[in-house]
Structure 1
């Protein structure tokens, strides 16, 4: 019998875990597959680890990896994918915005021969205007910059066949943007559209700072165009500065209109200095990522693995 593994990253989800477990178990019990639910606790500060320990003790289908600290959502997903042993692996969040009731549709598309089944979020019922507009702008920007197309509205709710997971596990960079990495794999891909319901309980841990960091990882991981743009901007304003210098010499040598030009000089220096700092900042982002990669530290550390061996 083939096996399906659910990989569920968890960060302070004590109010959602029992409901998620109940609904996911009900769905998988109705399917003709062996299954496991692999929770990855990403350094939760609430009682999530205690709940996961109880669930694993009561149900041999459940296991949990407790990371030694908070490594972030993408690293928690990576840990789950590294350790799940199913013939198909479904990654999904534990806040029930990725409804377990969609799992049968993912499985049917997998059975039809698709190695990857990617969900596409058409809307989120409790998302505000700001989140919707920034998400739309971000996907347009990253697709304009990157050679790899990122599905607008794509999420980390997907099914991957074992062959696709084994291929993904060869990607070990630290700046992990899994939606982009999965799109580089190839294989047969199907897309399942859905409307994300509100969180069952609690609030999103994905604040503005994390969202900006995640967006920057996605752009720098899949495009070097910002570096080229910084070069092009530098060239344009270099020529502009030469033209301005010619104008200064002309006024000084051939006219009587020369006046102390402190204002013009100050504006030009500040403006060009700002352009230089932008270019240096972009360069610094890429160098910083090189620095992180060459240290070859582990992507994550597992503090404890909980599994009922019965």
Structure 2
């Protein structure tokens, strides 16, 4: 019988851990699969690590990896995928917004031969109109600017066959956008729609700043269109400047209307200066990402591993990735 890994990145989720564990175990025990529940604590400052330790001591199906600091959701997911042992790996959040009762459905689609089972969030209960709008706009911009398809409403709640997991592990970029990577993997894929319930407890850790950084990572990772737009804007501004120059020369040589004026000069300088700064800013984003990549720093490092053997182990040699 196949073995399933369920990877769950958590950050300050002390109020959700126990009920999440109970629900996942209840639904997985209704299937015929053996499984492990692998938590990745992304540098929590509350009692999350303590609760994970207690769970690991009473249930040997529970493992927990404690990262040395907060590395971000996408890196925590990567850590979990690196350590997962299953023939298939399910990734999901631990705040109950990825419904555990969908686990048997994901596994049934895997049994049908699909190697990537992606869930699509059609709506989220209690979410603001602003977040709905910004989320929809991100996916439209992302799909319009890049050469990959990211399903609108795509989430990090998905099942990956072992072949897909091993392929994904070869992607080592620092600015990670796993939804884009998975969408570009290929293999046989299918989608399942769901409505995300409200968080069971606590508040979202995904702030507006993190949303903007996440979106920027996705666009710059899979699209060169911003650079081309800067180039096209440069061509357009050059053409406009040339036309303005022709107008100035014509007015000076063939009319008596030439009046020394600062307005045209000021407008031209501001236009060109603004376009240059925009272009430099876009180039700077890409250069900055190149700089981060060439430093070859590890994606994460592990502080401790908690296992069902009632022991806290020091990191193995392969846990710095």
TM-score with structure 2 setting the length:
0.95
CA distance in 1, matches of 2:51, 2:252: 79
Deviation readout 1:37-74 (Å, 9 max, x if unpaired): 00000011111011111111111000000000000000
CA distance in 2, matches of 1:177, 1:223: 12
| Partner secondary structure for residue 173 of structure 2 | coil
Aligned equivalent of 1:138: 138
CA distance in 1, matches of 2:81, 2:52: 18
Which ranges of structure 1 fall in alignment gaps of 5 or more residues? Answer: none
CA distance in 2, matches of 1:309, 1:65: 14
| Partner secondary structure for residue 258 of structure 1 | coil
CA distance in 1, matches of 2:264, 2:272: 12
Deviation readout 1:141-191 (Å, 9 max, x if unpaired): 110111001100000000001111001000010110000000111000010
CA drift at 1:309: 2.3
The aligned runs of 1:1-310 (5 Å cut-off) are: 1-309=1-309
| Partner secondary structure for residue 308 of structure 1 | coil
CA distance in 2, matches of 1:126, 1:76: 26
CA distance in 2, matches of 1:251, 1:160: 68
Dislocated runs of 4+, deviation >2 Å: none
CA distance in 2, matches of 1:249, 1:234: 22
Which ranges of structure 2 fall in alignment gaps of 5 or more residues? Answer: 311-321
CA drift at 1:127: 1.1
| Partner secondary structure for residue 31 of structure 1 | coil
| Partner secondary structure for residue 63 of structure 1 | strand
